Structure 1
Amino acid sequence: MENEELKIKQIYQYTNILITLFFLLFIIGCSAKKPQIGKKAFDKEDEYIMKALFFESNGDYNKSIPIYEFLYKKTNKRIYLDKKIEDLFYSKKYNDVIKEVEDLCKKKLCDDKILRYEVFAYLNLGKLNEAKELLLRKLNKKDEFFYSVMSYILISEGKESLALEYIKSLYALNPNKNNLLKLSDFLIKLKKYNEALAYLRTHLKMYGCDYDICIRLADVYKSLYDYDNLANIYEKLGVYDIKFYILAFNIYIQNKEFKKAERLIKTAKLGDEYYLFLYLAKKDYKKAAYKSLELYDKTGKLNYLIKYCEYLYASHPTKEELRDIIDRLKFVVNIKKDAYLYNFLGYILIDNNINVKEGIKYVQKALNLDPTNEEYIDSLAWGYYKLKKCKEAKELIDYVKLKDKTILRHKKLINQCIKENNDFRQNNKSNKNRLRKKKK
């Protein structure tokens, strides 16, 4: 039983043949549920039909099969025999399916619809040669079913090159989406990427960006690291889901194609937030700052106001802009008690010699909330340095182990300050000694 289930899964994986089968069976099933059987052959015919359909709906084929057999013998209506074979197949009685179909063929009553059940019965029994022989001998060679099943059998036999020709013929016979995906997937499996791309691109030009086709194209471009074409396909897929526009935007940003990114923001209407991402990628901090301020004015979200202060400070602000940053940060820290913001405000006051003592007070507030943060300790040390309290600065900066460029510069200047003070004391002491000697 498990082996049979595995075989069915393999059929799905390679060529989706069973999808075709179940589609056909669905049609057959629907036609049986509303059979055009004409005049009733006997009074209780409808009653038997309802019983059979009830058992079918519950998957109890062992009870529906004998009812259809009885109905066929009683009425001689072909539809009941077809339904019997269908239920034999569903109940996995594959040898019985083969026998029933062969009996019909001997009576010259078999048709393509019934023969397909026999083909699949052979496949589920692992009898590939018998299935192939039946296909070649009795099935219509201009039918999609023929090419689909033949390609599956050839793949199972390891004859992939020949199987490919059958799949190409299948697509040529009916160039629909499913057949194209079957063909392109098999070409990709064979690492024939350029050929797969040729089929997919041609289909795209002729029929437009069907979701599944464009997704498959995107998969191929991703495999080939072809990000230019990948971004283009993502843009086309954006009409189905905005996430694809965002994926395209990210590729443009990573590739520094800023004009394309800006165009996409406009055409896809991604929103002002994406202008912010764009300006940051370009390191245009001034524009990023004022876009953040614009977003703050629109939304009232405090985070945008904080970003405005950060980006504007990174843009080497004018004195007027620096004053604006300080005023806005003071407004923010009155609302939000945050160590990072206290330190940020304090450092600006200290580093720009605006109000070092006030800056130290803000940094101390930050350290009260986060006493071991080395960046905040550095800010306090820098404040003491600015007040010429180099000894206190040195005691603090020695705790800092970070290798940040700015912190290393602070350390160097503080150590230099200590050295200069020591030299000054040493020189002062030497001068005093000389004076004492002269007096003597």
Structure 2
Amino acid sequence: MSWNRIAFTLLLAFGLSTAAGHAKELMKISEDELIVSALLYDEYGAYESSYQIYKRLYDDTGAEIYLFKEATSALMARNHIAESIKRLKIWDKKHPNRIEVRRLLIPLYLTIRQVKNATNEAEYLLEQSTDPVDLDLASNSFLYAGNFKRALKLLAKVYEKAPREEVLLRMVEIMDQFTDERQKAIQLLETHRRMNIVSNDVYIKLLTLYQKEKDADGILETYKAMYRQDNDQQFLTRIIDVYMYKRDVDGAIAFLEADKSREDILYELYKAKGDFSKALNLADKFYKADKDSRWIAEKGVLLFENAEDKNDKKMIAEVVAYLEQAIDQGVDDSIYLNYYGYTLIDKEVDVQKGIKIIEEALLQQPENTYYLDSLAWGYYKVRECSKAYRLMKRVVEEEGLQEEEIIKHWNAIRECK
């Protein structure tokens, strides 16, 4: 007969009967059959049922194992706690100094919030044992009692003998919340993670502590460790976010140059820093890879920004050629239209054409003050002073006079006759 079928049969025998019938059945079944039934109930989490069987077995046989099993089932069921404590105490008087009783009484007392009794039992347990399991168990009593230093001291001994992650996390929680030892907690976590492969729970706790300490460098190094361990792109994103929070563009660039997995972000950082020659190299690389005409437009922009002499006619002709090629191939983003149109206007390559292109950009973003500034400058170049003034006045009212180019345009247009 299969185990599942045995389980089903026993569940029918014990789980579906009435209370009276259940008691009657227990009278007829052998000790071995009762043990199997109790174990089965334990496996399925039916602790109330296993409690009744172990209780009967202990009453019938007086064997200590059944008393301990009875108390364990009561603890798991969170029921019959007071009765289990009473029965254990009676047995303890007859068989003093049994460590198994201490191990059961502590959690039973804590379950019904009798913390003083739990700590008394913990003291007895510590007199009898230095086993890490017992130190761990005793620490719970002192933690409930608010004796955080004592609980932490016991957990430190447990961790020293068996450096398990879950023990460390409990220690760290106490140090963070109750004993004002956050920096020491960070040190413990950092030492542990450097010596072990750890779960995300350790990293998350580290991040929480570093955030509380407002330690951006600690957060950054933690995300780097997480990225090295899991190679998850979300951690890479967080790394860049922290670099930006620190305003450390150079650090972000150095990291991405070594990592080589997000050259798209690296490209934007090169532009933000003004390293246009490196950005140009990447734009060429991207275009070779995907043949997207946007990179042609980007190359035109970068070529102009990278030039030392912004009035170099040969350079301007190349910029115009790149932008015109990109637009002819279907690139119609208003950003590139504005850049192209403004270049034609400002460098007086073809002002009227530049005005028309800016007007196309404004169809996409009619309220964009940068585009309105470009159009005003175009009107100024062809001496349509009234139109230029109305547009530029609007730009100044919205943007103020913070940017050098706006100041230059505003001063010139106000003098326009």
Deviation per residue, 1:183-216 (Å, 9 max, x gap)? 23322333223433443344455x2463444544
Query: Which of these residues, 56, 65, 87, is aligned with residue 73 of structure 2?
Result: 87
- Segments of 4+ in structure 1 off by > 6 A? none
How does 1:110-149 map onto structure 2 within 5 Å? 111-138=98-125, 140-149=128-137
How does 1:296-335 map onto structure 2 within 5 Å? 296-301=287-292, 303-316=294-307, 319-334=313-328, 335=330
TM-score normalized by the length of structure 1: 0.72
TM-score normalized by the length of structure 2: 0.75
Q: Structure 1 stretch 181-190 or stretch 217-226: which is displaced more?
A: 217-226
Match of 2:5 in 1: none
Query: Which of these residues, 231, 236, 240, is aligned with residue 220 of structure 2?
Result: 231
What percent identity do the matched residue pairs reach?
Answer: 26
- Opposite residue 141 of structure 1, the aligned amino acid is S
Deviation at 1:51, TM superposition (A): 4.1
CA distance, structure 1, for counterparts of residue 97 and residue 51 of structure 2: 19
Please say if 1:286 is aligned against 2:302. no
Note the residue ranges of structure 2 that are not aligned, 5 or more in a row: 1-27
Q: Structure 1 stretch 91-100 or stretch 248-257: which is displaced more?
A: 248-257
**Structure 1 residues 396, 192: closer, same or farther in 2, change over 3 A?**
closer
Deviation at 1:320, TM superposition (A): 4.2
Deviation per residue, 1:39-76 (Å, 9 max, x gap)? xxx97555444544554456544433333333445566
**Structure 1 residues 124, 355: closer, same or farther in 2, change over 3 A?**
same
Please say if 1:377 is aligned against 2:372. yes
Match of 2:153 in 1: 165
Match of 1:178 in 2: 166
Q: Do the aligned partners of 1:217 and 1:233 also contact (CA within 8 Å) in 2?
A: yes
**Structure 1 residues 224, 371: closer, same or farther in 2, change over 3 A?**
closer
**Structure 1 residues 90, 285: closer, same or farther in 2, change over 3 A?**
same
How does 1:23-172 map onto structure 2 within 5 Å? 44-45=30-31, 47-53=33-39, 55-56=41-42, 59-72=45-58, 78-92=64-78, 93-108=80-95, 111-138=98-125, 140-172=128-160
Deviation at 1:94, TM superposition (A): 1.0
Between Structure 1 and Structure 2, whose CA radius of gyration is higher? 1
Deviation per residue, 1:163-183 (Å, 9 max, x gap)? 433333333343332222222
Q: Structure 1 stretch 149-158 or stretch 175-184: which is displaced more?
A: 149-158
CA distance, structure 2, for counterparts of residue 113 and residue 250 of structure 1: 53
Q: Do the aligned partners of 2:41 and 2:49 also contact (CA within 8 Å) in 1?
A: yes
- Opposite residue 142 of structure 1, the aligned amino acid is T
Deviation per residue, 1:141-171 (Å, 9 max, x gap)? 3023443344443344343344433333333
**Structure 1 residues 166, 73: closer, same or farther in 2, change over 3 A?**
closer
Deviation at 1:118, TM superposition (A): 1.6
**Structure 1 residues 128, 303: closer, same or farther in 2, change over 3 A?**
farther
**Structure 1 residues 218, 369: closer, same or farther in 2, change over 3 A?**
closer
How does 1:342-381 map onto structure 2 within 5 Å? 342-381=337-376
Deviation per residue, 1:332-366 (Å, 9 max, x gap)? 43424444433332111111111111111212223
**Structure 1 residues 230, 55: closer, same or farther in 2, change over 3 A?**
closer
**Structure 1 residues 255, 126: closer, same or farther in 2, change over 3 A?**
closer
Deviation at 1:88, TM superposition (A): 1.7
**SS of alignment partner, residue 68 of structure 1:** helix
CA distance, structure 1, for counterparts of residue 34 and residue 153 of structure 2: 48
Match of 1:417 in 2: 416
CA distance, structure 2, for counterparts of residue 305 and residue 203 of structure 1: 50
Q: Structure 1 stretch 365-374 or stretch 339-348: which is displaced more?
A: 365-374
Q: Do the aligned partners of 1:252 and 1:261 also contact (CA within 8 Å) in 2?
A: yes
**SS of alignment partner, residue 240 of structure 1:** helix
CA RMSD of aligned residues (A): 3.4
Q: Count residues with an aligned counterpart.
A: 376
Deviation at 1:255, TM superposition (A): 4.7
How does 1:426-437 map onto structure 2 within 5 Å? none
Deviation at 1:87, TM superposition (A): 1.8
CA distance, structure 2, for counterparts of residue 222 and residue 370 of structure 1: 40
Q: Do the aligned partners of 1:377 and 1:397 also contact (CA within 8 Å) in 2?
A: yes
